[in-house]
């Protein structure tokens, strides 16, 4: 089946859904009756272990990424934490300087637990190769990265990781499986903050890990999921599953809007530069063209001429576009990242990050035009 068909139909499990409703019911029960011989029908006993809505959405996520198995979590961060906990104390991880929460997890939570981490610009392959040690078990990349929109060469890093006996995990939140097929490029694990594009309406918190193989490492992830219990509710699984049905349409519109708007912004006299892998001026453009197909995602950043003051003034002057954190929703939002990251994290003070929505491009451009005129 083609991607769009899978997006609508993946995760249909008629064995539990005997009356075949087109839209799955939300099954809130935390417990399921045991058969007379003490077995459980469909492996359902208690909702921390699994639940029909979680089971359906996990099989849909595995199908959309092209992996063997998926595990859904209560947030993207819980999904990341679970992969890190599936390693052993003493292991070493290399991670992209990307989403700040991942760095914080590594430094503040996993370091005291015994995990060593090198957080770096993974777009620099020579430096990445030098950072690999005998204890490196996992390379965690985020591409395009959030919020600096750097591009890491997935296939090249997969080769480096596998030569060192390490796994490659890709945080595919910003690219989505519509544009970036990580398993085809050599990744072993894919992570999503399903809060973002996959749900798409800024009303669900969730995360997922998808594994290329149903192997022992995924077994540890699965055990952590059901034993530690950072699982999503049936309602959140249902909302995510509903979001999956339209997400290919949404992200294509978001990517088209992002390309049009960054082309406009990069030529504006009050803009220093726009960071978007779809622009030929982007240093990662050639790699992005090779590893992303059909678009470059809906997330971009740009730097206003001037400093923090001009950036804040521009964001404040927008009327249609709203100031909010997070990304991936149908509403366009803008955020000044430097003011939410700790001092010294490296995001320039004049940078604004934009999460493109699905509004008409003319209305978005008009809003930027009037706000840029005012600064």
Ligand X SMILES: *Cc1c(COP(=O)(O)O)cnc(C)c1O
Q: Which residues contact 129 (CB under 8 A, 6 or more apart)?
A: 160
Task: Tell me how far apart the alpha carbons of residues 47 and 49 are, in angstroms, rounded to a whole number.
Answer: 5
Q: Which of 69, 181, 196, 250 is catalytic?
A: 196
Under the binding rule (CB under 6 A), the answer on residue 207 touching ligand X is: yes
β-pairing, 271-275 with 299-304?
antiparallel
CA distances from 363 to 132, 254, 359 (A): 47, 14, 7
Residue 353 C-beta-side C-alpha neighbours within 13 Å: 26
Clarify whether 124 is annotated catalytic.
no
Q: What is the footprint of ligand X within residues 315-334 (CB under 6 A)? A: 327
99 or 179: whose CB is closer to ligand X? 99
Give yes or no for a contact between 276 and 300, defined as CB atoms under 8 angstroms apart: yes
Contact flags string 166-195 toward ligand X, x per CB under 6 A: -----x-xx------------------x-x
Residue 144, preceding peptide bond in cis (omega within 30° of 0): yes
Q: Which of 146, 211, 257, 262 binds ligand X (CB under 6 A)?
A: 146
75 or 266: whose CB is closer to ligand X? 75
Backbone phi and psi for residue 134, each to the nearest 5 degrees, phi listed first: -65, -25
Q: Which of 4, 16, 17, 101 binds ligand X (CB under 6 A)?
A: 101
Tell me the sheet residues that pair with 167: 138
Clarify whether 48 is annotated catalytic.
yes
| Burial class of residue 216 (count of CB atoms within 10 Å of its CB; 0-12, 13-18, 19+) | exposed
Q: Which of 77, 103, 266, 347 binds ligand X (CB under 6 A)?
A: 77
208 or 312: whose CB is closer to ligand X? 208
β-pairing, 351-355 with 333-335?
antiparallel
Clarify whether 100 is annotated catalytic.
yes
Q: Render 207-219 in DSSP notation, one character per residue.
A: EEEEESS--HHHH
Under the binding rule (CB under 6 A), the answer on residue 277 touching ligand X is: no
Clarify whether 196 is annotated catalytic.
yes
Q: Which of 91, 153, 171, 236 is catalytic?
A: 171
Give yes or no for a contact between 211 and 189, defined as CB atoms under 8 angstroms apart: yes
Under the binding rule (CB under 6 A), the answer on residue 75 touching ligand X is: yes
Under the binding rule (CB under 6 A), the answer on residue 76 touching ligand X is: yes
99 or 247: whose CB is closer to ligand X? 99
151 or 372: whose CB is closer to ligand X? 151
Query: Which residues are near ligand X by CB under 6 A?
Result: 75-77, 99, 101, 142, 146, 171, 173-174, 193, 195-196, 205, 207, 327
Which residues participate in catalysis according to the annotation?
48, 100, 171, 196
């Amino acid at each position: 089946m083609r991607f769009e068909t899978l997006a609508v139909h993946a995760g249909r499990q008629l064995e539990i859904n005997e009356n075949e409703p087109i839209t799955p019911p939300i099954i809130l029960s935390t417990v399921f009756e045991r058969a007379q011989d003490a077995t459980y029908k469909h492996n359902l006993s208690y909702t921390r272990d699994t639940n029909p809505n979680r089971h359906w959405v996990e099989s849909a996520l595995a199908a959309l990424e092209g992996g063997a198995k998926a595990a859904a979590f209560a947030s993207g961060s819980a999904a990341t934490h679970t992969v890190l906990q599936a390693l052993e104390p003493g292991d070493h991880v290399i991670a992209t300087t990307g989403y700040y929460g991942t760095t914080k997890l590594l430094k503040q939570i996993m370091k005291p637990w015994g995990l060593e981490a090198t957080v770096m610009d993974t777009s620099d392959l020579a430096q990445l190769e030098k950072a690999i040690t005998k204890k490196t078990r996992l390379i965690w990349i985020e591409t395009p990265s959030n919020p600096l929109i750097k591009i890491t060469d997935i296939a090249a890093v997969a080769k480096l990781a596998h030569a060192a006996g390490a796994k490659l995990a890709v945080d595919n939140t910003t690219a989505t499986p519509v544009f970036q097929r990580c398993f085809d490029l050599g990744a072993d694990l894919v992570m999503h903050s399903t809060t973002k594009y996959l749900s798409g309406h800024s009303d669900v918190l969730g995360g997922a890990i998808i594994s290329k193989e149903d192997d022992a490492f995924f077994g540890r992830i699965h055990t952590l999921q059901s034993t530690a219990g950072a699982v999503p509710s049936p309602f959140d699984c249902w909302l995510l599953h509903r979001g999956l049905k339209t997400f290919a349409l949404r992200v294509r519109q978001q990517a088209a809007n992002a390309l049009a708007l960054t082309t406009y912004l990069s030529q504006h006299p009050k803009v220093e530069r726009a960071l978007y892998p779809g622009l030929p001026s982007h240093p990662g453009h050639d790699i992005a063209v090779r590893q992303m197909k059909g678009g470059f995602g809906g997330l971009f950043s740009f730097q206003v001429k001037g400093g923090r003051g001009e950036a804040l003034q521009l964001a404040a002057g927008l009327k249609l576009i709203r100031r909010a954190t997070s990304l991936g929703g149908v509403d366009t939002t803008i955020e000044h990242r430097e003011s939410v990251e700790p001092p010294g994290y490296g995001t320039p003070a004049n940078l604004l990050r934009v999460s493109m929505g699905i509004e008409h491009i003319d209305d978005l451009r008009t809003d930027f035009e009037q706000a840029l005129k005012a600064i």
